Amino acid sequence: MQLTRKGLWGGIIREFRDFLPEISDDAITTLLEGNTPLIECDNLKDIFGDIRLLLKYEGLNPTGSFKDRGMTMAVSKAREENAKAIICASTGNTSAAAAAYAAKAGMKAFVLVPDGAIAMGKLSQAIMHGAMVLQIKGNFDDALTIVKEITGDYPVKMVNSINPFRIEGQKTGAFEVCEHLGYAPTYHFLPVGNAGNITAYWKGYKQYHHENIITHLPKMMGFQADGAAPIVRGRPVEHPETIATAIKIGNPASWDSALRARDESGGVIEAVTDEEILAAYKLLAAREGVYCEPASAASLAGAIKMKKDGVLNDGDTVVCTLTGHGLKDPDIALKSSEKPVKVPAETKKILKVMGF
Ligand SMILES: *Cc1c(COP(=O)(O)O)cnc(C)c1O
C-alpha cells in the first residue's frame, strides 16, 4: 500500500480560497483550523422527537473555539500588510486565538480582557502564547472602546470581529455545514455575544446560495443570555451579567448585521436564562458525550426552548453551533456538578459504593 496525502486538510484559507478575499501564499498563517465535526445527536429524541439535530463542534479548533476561523484570516491579512502587532478586546477566546496566531506569524499580540471575568483556560492560553495580557478594571464593552481608540492612532492591527476579515473567516463554518449535510439546515442556532458569528454564518449561507451550491437558506436563531441580552431588549445593557462569560456583552459591535441576519432569514434573536444554559450544557456532556463551554450551550438551550414553544417541526434539520470547548472553563463544570466520591483505598468498600 502507498501512503498518499489525499484528504489532508489545509486550513480554511486554502480549502475555501475561491470564496474568500485573496491572500498571498507567503502571508497565510494557519494552525489548520476548521473541518470540525458535525455530530448527529442520537440521545435527545425524548426532547426533539423526529427533528434531526446536529452539533457543529467548534471546540475542536486548534485553540478550542470558532475564533480560529476568523483569526487565521485577520492575522494573515495583517501579515500581508507587514503589521508587527495585533490588538483585541476579548471575553477570552479571541485573546487565546489572537495570541496563538500572532505567535505563529511572529507578531506581538496585545489583549485587553475584563479583570476577573475570563475563564482560566483562556487566560492561560493567551499567556502561554506570549501575548501581553492587560486585565482592565472594566467589562468587555469598555475594553473594546479602548481598543478602538488605540488602533486609530498606533501601529497595531485590531483583530476584533469589526475587522471584516474575521467575519470572512468565520463564514466558513456555514460552508462546512452545507458540505457535510449536502444542503442547508432548516434552522441554525447560535449563541450571540458581540454578534459577529451570526453575521458570519448568515454571510456564508447567502454566499453558497448565491453560487447555487445550496437551494434554500436556513432561519438564523440567535440566543443571548438573559442578563446580557441587549439585542432582545432593544438597548445596550450597562452591566451585563451571566455565567456564560463568552457572551457577557452589553453593546454588541455587530448589532445591526445580527438584526439583518434575523430579519432576512425569518429567524429570531431571543434570550435564555443561565439555568437553561447550564441545563443544556450538562445535558450535552452527559447524554451526547460532547463537552462545550457554557456560552456554547446557549444554542442548544435556544433549540430546546423553540421546540417547547412549538416552533420546530418533525423533519426539520436543526444545527447548533457549539462555539467553544468545555475544557476552557472547568471551574464552572466543577462548581455546577456533584463532587467526586471520596473512598478508602479498599476494594471491598469501593465495590460497595459502586453498588455491587
Ligand atoms: C466569542 C464567543 C461567542 C460569541 O460570539 P459572537 O461572535 O461574539 O457573537 C460565543 N461563544 C464562545 C465560546 C465564544 O468564544
Q: pLDDT, tens digit, for every residue of 181-224?
A: 999 999 999 999 999 999 999 999 999 999 999 999 999 999 99
Whether residue 246 has its Cβ less than 6 Å from ligand 1: yes
Q: Which pLDDT value is given to residue 4?
A: 65
Distances, alpha carbon 302 to alpha carbons 236, 238, 325, in Å: 21, 24, 18
Whether residue 251 has its Cβ less than 6 Å from ligand 1: no
Q: What percent of the chain has a predicted confidence (pLDDT) above 90?
A: 93
The model's confidence at residue 152, banded by pLDDT at 50, 70 and 90, is confident
User: Looking at 6-20, 61-75, 172-186, 309-323, which range is the least confident one?
Assistant: 6-20
Greater model confidence, 7 or 267 = 267
> Which atom of ligand 1 lies at the shortest distance from residue 58's CA?
13
State the average pLDDT over residues 25-35. Answer: 98
Q: pLDDT, tens digit, for every residue of 114-143?
A: 988 889 999 999 999 999 999 999 999 999
Q: Distance between CA 199 and CA 255 in Å, rounded?
A: 9
What's the whole-number average pLDDT of the chain?
96
State the average pLDDT over residues 62-69. Answer: 98
**The C-alpha cell of 208 is what?**
453558497
Q: pLDDT, tens digit, for every residue of 309-319?
A: 999 999 999 99
Q: Ligand 1: distance of its center to the CA of 191 in Å? A: 7
Greater model confidence, 262 or 3 = 262
Q: pLDDT, tens digit, for every residue of 86-110?
A: 999 999 999 999 999 999 999 999 9
Q: Ligand 1: distance of its center to the CA of 178 in Å? A: 21
Q: pLDDT, tens digit, for every residue of 242-253?
A: 999 999 999 999
Nearest to 256 by CA among 173, 196, 303, 332: 196
Q: Which pLDDT value is given to residue 5?
A: 64
Q: Distance between CA 280 and CA 203 in Å, rounded?
A: 27
- pTM of the shown model: 0.96
Whether residue 118 has its Cβ less than 6 Å from ligand 1: no
Q: Distance between CA 209 and CA 215 in Å, rounded?
A: 6
Q: Ligand 1: distance of its center to the CA of 5 in Å? A: 34
Q: Whose CA is nearest to atom 8 of ligand 1?
A: 194
